[in-house]
Amino acid sequence: MKNYKTQMEAAKKGIITPEMKIVAEKEFMEVEKLMALVACGQVAIPANIMHTSLSPEGIGTGLKTKINVNLGVSGDCKNYQQELEKVKLSLKFGAEAIMDLSNFGKTNTFRQELIKLSPAMIGTVPMYDAIGYLEKDLLAITPQDFMRVVRAHAEEGVDFMTIHAGINRRAIETFKRDGRRMNIVSRGGSLLFAWMEMTGNENPFYEYYDEFLEILREYDVTISLGDALRPGCIDDSSDSSQLGELIELGHLTKRAWAKDVQVLVEGPGHMAMNEIAANMAIQKRLCHNAPFYVLGPLVTDIAPGYDHITSAIGGAIAAASGADFLCYVTPAEHLRLPDIDDVKEGIIASKIAAHAADIAKGIPHAREIDNKMAEARRKVDWDAMFEIAIDSEKARAYFESTPPEDKHSCSMCGKMCAVRTTNMILEGKTVAFYSEN
């Protein structure tokens, strides 16, 4: 019988868990080093004891940048089968985490099926689910009701939960005093803001924080401290509301660690490129080097339909500057619930950003796959290139859509291909274009 409740408690006691062994092997890291990082909170291994299909992953210092895929039904789009297809696609392309953000109806049936089949970490935002789960209007929900929903998600096997505990009365006073161009754009944050304003009460996730932590500790659920006051446009970034909440999240991080609950801290949504690196450094300082989970940041506000690109730009800079976990953004952001093609585009963009950042950070073996691609390209080995590519099917389809006359080139350059020309000269051949060699 194990004598620990959470990965953090085990690490503090010097116990190497099976999950730590798996993560250390995946990350090419000595397990003792990983254990020390888990013990001090710089690495989290979200692994609910009820999630038996999980393939554990680590998030944090010295590890590969992980990505999360958001999915789930809404009142306007209630096709659970389509959401399961998105799950399968996410797993196919190597997403390490999936967040079920369903906000309509009885979502637990879908979530239980998701947890049963998914080796990826599963996250939720209990605040989203509260209204449908409880079948109550927002004003009628009590702090005890919120606890019921959190416990239900924990019992189902959710590995990490976004809890917006930092938006307390003090944070709201700052927000209302200073104002913003886009106000509050966090769905969970806006619901809590409304509940607090309508009831006159303190944020229940803040007021009863220790009680929520006890539930999370029981199932080893990682708390993802939500950024309810994240900037929703670049003009609101790095303002008093965002940074004031971040300071509070730093205090909440230490309180969670004191109870052996692992922590992720969530970060900004929209931010100009020149502010990103500084924000990553500030977050790590204020939140004691806890793993940082960022949405984007989206580096401009004028690209609806292309926000997977604005997000990937910001995500690459953020991860290279210290962020550990990227939440994908799809082309449908700000416009609609994403369809399966949107999900694929979002995943690929986020994977590119994460991998590019890992190269920049010098993560062990990150460059190896790029070197393999370079070797395949030097040899003009198309099959090897397709196998290595992040999206093999798309790469092959593009190549075959306009086939080259010479298999040692593509239709872009034909016989003038630089690689072909150089290879021929190095092989002692003559390069000619109007006669056969």
Could you tell me which residues are annotated as the binding site for substrate? 70, 99, 128, 164, 186-188, 227-230, 266, 293
Annotated binding site for [4Fe-4S] cluster: 410, 413, 417
Extract the tokens encoding 400: 């075959």
- Neighbouring-strand partners of residue 122: 98
Contact 216, 223 (CB under 8 A): yes
How buried is 163 (Cβ within 10 angstroms: 0-12 exposed, 13-18 middle, 19+ buried)? buried
Straight-line distance from the first to the last Cα atom of the chain, in angstroms, rounded to the nearest whole number: 73
Q: What are phi and psi of 189, to 5 degrees?
A: -65, -40
What letter represents residue 37's amino acid?
A: L
Annotated binding site: 70, 99, 128, 164, 186-188, 227-230, 266, 270, 293, 334, 410, 413, 417
Residue 100 is inside which H or E element, if any?
strand 97-100
Annotated binding site for Zn(2+): 270, 334
- Identify the CA nearest to 154 among candidates 51, 3, 254: 51
Dist CA 292 CA 43 (whole Å) = 10
Residue 107 is inside which H or E element, if any?
none
Neighbours of 30 (CB within 10 A): 10
